[in-house]
Amino acid sequence: MTAPTLAVFKLASCDGCQLTLLDCEDELLALAEKVEIAHFPEASSALRPGPYDLALVEGSVTTPADAERVQEIRAQSRFLVTIGACATAGGIQALRNFSDVEEFTRTVYARPDYIDTLATSTPVSAHVDVDFELRGCPIDRGQLLEVITAFLAGRKPDVPNHSVCFECKRRGTVCVTVAHGTPCLGPVTHAGCGAICPAYGRGCYGCFGPSGSVNLPALIPLLHRDGMDDRDTERFLRTFNAAAFAKERQP
Amino acid sequence: MTHRGSRVLRVGSLARVEGEGALHLRVHNGRVEEARLQIYEPPRFFEAFLRGRSYTEPPDITARVCGICPVAYQMSACQAIEDACGVTVDRPIRDLRRLLYCGEWIESHALHIYLLHAPDFLGCDSAVDLARTDRTAVQRGLRLKQAGNALLTQLGGRAIHPVNVRLGGFHRTPTSAELRPLAEQLRRAAEDARKTVRWVAGFDFPDAVVDADFLALASPSTYAIEGGTPTRLRADGTLTTFPLPSFLDHVREAQVPHSTALHSRLDGRRHLTGPLARYAISGNLLSPAALEAAREAGLGPECRNPYRSVLVRAVEVVYAVDEALRIIDAYEPPPRPYVDVPPVEATGHGATEAPRGLLYHRYRLDAEGTVTDAQLVPPTAQNQGAIEDDLVRSVQTAITDHDASDHELTHLCERLIRNHDPCISCATHFLDLTVERT
C-alpha cells in the first residue's frame, strides 16, 4: 500500500501556519514515513503533480489569480483542510474589507497601478468546499497533528469547539477579567491555543476566532465595564479574525 | 521550447524559501542584461491598516508580517514606539528581550541551515530526503531548532507569534526556576551548534563574491541583535555610521513594476544586510566559542562569498546559544515586568537585527497614542537589489564559461537566492524562471 500524499499550499499569509508543520521537531521524520510529502514548496524542491490525498491550505484569497488557484487546489485535493486565521477567516489582511482598498494601495505603494488586488480578503470556504477548518493565528501544533492523525486513521478530528475559558479552567489560571478587570475575549474565542494569554497575565485577543456558540452582544458591556470605549472594543474585535467576529456581531 | 539563442521558458518553482517569487532573466547576444526577481506575494497592506490603531498594538499586529521572524517585528515595533514616547527600558528587561531574540535566531537559523539550505549542498530535495542518508544530521538540526523554540515558548508563550511582548517589556517575566530547565537544553544545543559549524564547513562552496555595501547595526560592546547604530561597510573597507532617525534619508525605497516588494538603495548604492554584513561589521564581538568555531571553519574577519553565508549563520547560532546561556545564568527577575509607556505626540524609530537582516520601523503617533503613519523596511526588500546583481554576475559566468542550459541556470539561481535566505513573505514560494534570449 502506498502512503497517502500530502500537499501544502500558500495564499496570502505570513507562512506561520505551515511553519507549524516544520515546528513538529519530534514528529516530523516519523510523519514523513506515514505520508508522502508530495507538494510542500517551503520544505522541498521536489514538487509532484496532484491529485493529492490531503491538502493543507494556508492564507486567504486576495488576488484574482489566487481566486482561480484555489479552484485548482480544490480540484486536485481529495481532502482539503484550511489552516489558520487567514485561510478560515480572511486573516489580518481582511481589515481591507472594512475600508477602501484603493486608499490602502495608495498608502503603501507609489504606483498603485502596478498592484493587482481584490477589494476583499476572504476565507477559502468562500470560494470552494472545505472539508475541515483549523483555526488560529497561528494554528496550534497539537491540533495540527490531531487533524493529520485523524485523517490517516479515517476518523473525524477531535478539535473541540468550546471557548478559551474552558482551557483557562483546565490550566488553573485565575480569570483575568474577574480578578483584575482585564478585558478578555476568552469567553467568545475558539479553544486551541491552551489559553496562553491569560496564563501570561493578559486578556485573550481572539486569535482563534469565534467559538462554536458565541453570545458576542453579552460580552460588549463587560468590555465597556473594564474600561474600553466603543472604538477600543471595535479594534479589539477587528484584528486577526476581523471578518469572523464581524459576522457574529450581526443580529 | 524554442532555440536557445532566443527563447522564453518557464521552469520549476522556487522552493525552500519563505513566500512566493519568480525570476525573469533577459539575455541578449550571450550577455545577461537584466535579472528581475519578481515578488508576487499578494500585498497585505500592513502600513495602511496600522493607521488608526492604538500605539499598543503594532507589536502584536506586525508580528503577523512574518511567521518565521515575528520577534524581530515585535522588537523593532516596541523600540520605535518607546522611542517616540521617550521611554528607555532598563537593563534586565533589555536582557530578557535579547534572550527572546536569541531564541528566534537559533530557531530561524537552524530552520534555514538544515531544512532550507543544506539540501542544496548535499544534492537533496529536502531535509526529509536528506534524513534518508544522514538522519543524525537532520535530527541534530531539529534538536537545535527545538531549543530555540523552547526559549521562545517559555518567554513568549508560543514560538510563532509570541503573546508575552508588550510596550515597555513583558506581560509577565519568568522566574529563575522557569529558566533553569532551558539552560540544560541550551547546553546540549551548544554542542549541537558547534557540530553544525563543523558539518557545514565540510560543504563544497563555489567561489563567488558580493561587492555590495554591507549594512548592519553595531553596538560598542556587544554583537548587535536587539538594537544599535546603522553602520555601513563599503567593499573598500570604509566604515561609516548614521543616526537611526535619518534611516529613510539613506535607505530609500522605490517601487518597481515587477514586484509587490519595494526595492531600496543605500545612498544610491546596492546594499546587503544580514549575517554577512553583521559578521563583517561586528565579528570581533562574538563569544570566544563562536570566534573559535569561525576560525576552525576557515572564516576570516570578513566573508563576501554568499554561498558561505550558511557558515556565518552556523557561527551565529553558536553565539546565540552562548549569549542565551550567559543571560540565563545572570538572570534575576526585574522588580516589574514592564515600564509604563504613556503616549506622546511624536515620531519614533526602531531597528533590530532580524535573522535575515536589519528591520526598520517608524511610527507617528498623535497625543492619544493613535498611530497616524507607519513605515516598515524589511531586510528582503533591502537585499533584493544585491540579490539581482549577484544573479546577473553568476548567470553571466555560467553562460560565458559553458553555455549553461536553462535547467542548470534554474538550479544555479535557486541556490543563489536561497543563499540570502530571503523572506519573501516579508517582502514573498515559486521560482518561475523565465529566460528571454534575444
**Tens of pLDDT along A200-225?**
999 999 999 999 888 899 999 999 99
Q: Cβ of B53 and A235 within 8 Å?
A: yes
At a CB cut-off of 8 Å and minimum separation 6, what does B248 contact? B360, B362, B375, B377
pLDDT band at B14 (very low <50, low <70, confident <90, very high): low
**Average model confidence (pLDDT) across chain B:** 89
Contact A16, B160 (CB under 8 A): yes
Q: Cβ of B260 and A11 within 8 Å?
A: no
Question: What's residue B340's pLDDT?
Answer: 98
Is 70 exceeded by the pLDDT of residue B84?
A: yes
Question: What's residue B353's pLDDT?
Answer: 98
Amino acid at A52: Y
Question: Looking at CA atoms only, how far is residue B238 from chain A in angstroms?
Answer: 33
Lowest mean pLDDT among A3-7, A194-198, B382-386: B382-386
Q: Cβ of A45 and B414 within 8 Å?
A: yes
Category of B298 on φ-ψ map: left (φ > 0), alpha (ψ -120 to 50) or beta: left
Q: Cβ of A14 and B166 within 8 Å?
A: no
Q: β-strands B433-437, B21-28: how paired?
A: parallel
pLDDT band at B11 (very low <50, low <70, confident <90, very high): very low
Residue A194 exposed, middle or buried by CB count within 10 Å (0-12, 13-18, 19+):
middle
Q: Cβ of A92 and B12 within 8 Å?
A: no
pTM for the full predicted model: 0.94
Task: Give residue for cell 535579547.
Answer: B98
Cα–Cα distance measured from residue B40 to residue B38, given in angstroms and rounded to the nearest whole number: 6
Question: What's residue B157's pLDDT?
Answer: 97
The whole-number average pLDDT for the span B287-305 is 97
Contacts of A40 in chain B (CB under 8 A): 126
Higher-confidence position of B53 and B257: B53
How many degrees, rounded to 5, is the angle at CA B56 between CA B55 and CA B57?
90
pLDDT band at B424 (very low <50, low <70, confident <90, very high): low
pLDDT band at B431 (very low <50, low <70, confident <90, very high): very low
Task: Give residue for cell 522605490.
Answer: B254
Give the E-state strand segments of B29-168 in sequence order: 31-39, 165-166
Q: Cβ of B160 and A95 within 8 Å?
A: no
Chain B interface includes A142 (CB < 8 A): no
Work out how many CB contacts closer than 8 A connect A with B.
185
The whole-number average pLDDT for the span B323-337 is 96
Question: What's residue B10's pLDDT?
Answer: 35
Chain B interface includes A202 (CB < 8 A): yes
Contact B421, B274 (CB under 8 A): yes
Quick count: other Cβ atoms within 10 Å of Cβ A26?
Answer: 13
Q: Cβ of A15 and B17 within 8 Å?
A: no
The whole-number average pLDDT for the span A186-192 is 96
Question: What's residue B15's pLDDT?
Answer: 65
The chain A residue lying nearest B129, using CA atoms, is A44
Is 50 exceeded by the pLDDT of residue A158?
A: yes
Cα–Cα distance measured from residue B193 to residue B144, given in angstroms and rounded to the nearest whole number: 7
Q: Cβ of A235 and B157 within 8 Å?
A: no
Of A10, A96, A114, the CB nearest to B429: A10
- Which cell numbers hold the place of B170? 513583558
Quick count: other Cβ atoms within 10 Å of Cβ B51?
Answer: 17
Share of chain B above pLDDT 70, in %: 89
Chain B interface includes A108 (CB < 8 A): yes
Chain B interface includes A205 (CB < 8 A): yes
Residue B295 exposed, middle or buried by CB count within 10 Å (0-12, 13-18, 19+):
exposed
Of A193, A200, A235, the CB nearest to B54: A235
Per DSSP, what are the bridge partners of residue B32? B27
Question: Looking at CA atoms only, how far is residue A156 from chain B in angstroms?
Answer: 26
Cα–Cα distance measured from residue B34 to residue B385, given in angstroms and rounded to the nearest whole number: 11
Cα–Cα distance measured from residue A194 to residue B46, given in angstroms and rounded to the nearest whole number: 28
Question: What's residue B36's pLDDT?
Answer: 79
Q: Cβ of A16 and B127 within 8 Å?
A: no
Amino acid at A104: F
Of B135, B163, B429, the CB nearest to A41: B429
Question: What's residue A112's pLDDT?
Answer: 72
Question: What's residue B18's pLDDT?
Answer: 62
Of A37, A45, A137, the CB nearest to B16: A45
Higher-confidence position of B295 and B437: B295
pLDDT band at B8 (very low <50, low <70, confident <90, very high): very low
Q: Cβ of A138 and B67 within 8 Å?
A: yes
Angle of helix B91-110 relative to helix B176-201, nearest 10 degrees? 40
The whole-number average pLDDT for the span B308-328 is 98
pLDDT band at B391 (very low <50, low <70, confident <90, very high): confident
At a CB cut-off of 8 Å and minimum separation 6, what does B389 contact? B35, B210, B211, B212, B270
Q: Which of A7, A167, A141 is nearest to B146 (CA)?
A: A141
Of B13, B44, B262, the CB nearest to A41: B13
Quick count: other Cβ atoms within 10 Å of Cβ B33?
Answer: 13
Is 90 exceeded by the pLDDT of residue A186?
A: yes
Q: Cβ of B45 and A197 within 8 Å?
A: no
Is 80 exceeded by the pLDDT of residue A44?
A: yes
Q: How do residues B338-366 score in pLDDT, each as one tens digit?
A: 999 999 999 999 999 999 999 999 999 99
Share of chain B above pLDDT 90, in %: 70
Q: How do residues A88-143 score in pLDDT, each as one tens digit?
A: 999 999 999 988 888 887 777 766 776 778 889 999 999 999 999 999 999 999 99
Q: Cβ of B15 and A110 within 8 Å?
A: no
Contact B32, B25 (CB under 8 A): yes
Report CA torsion sign: A36, A42, A43, A44. Answer: positive
At a CB cut-off of 8 Å and minimum separation 6, what does A106 contact? A112
The whole-number average pLDDT for the span B161-173 is 98
Q: Phi/psi at A35 (nearest 5 deg)? A: -125, 155
Higher-confidence position of B270 and B136: B136
**Average model confidence (pLDDT) across chain A:** 93
Contacts of B142 in chain A (CB under 8 A): 25-26, 28-29
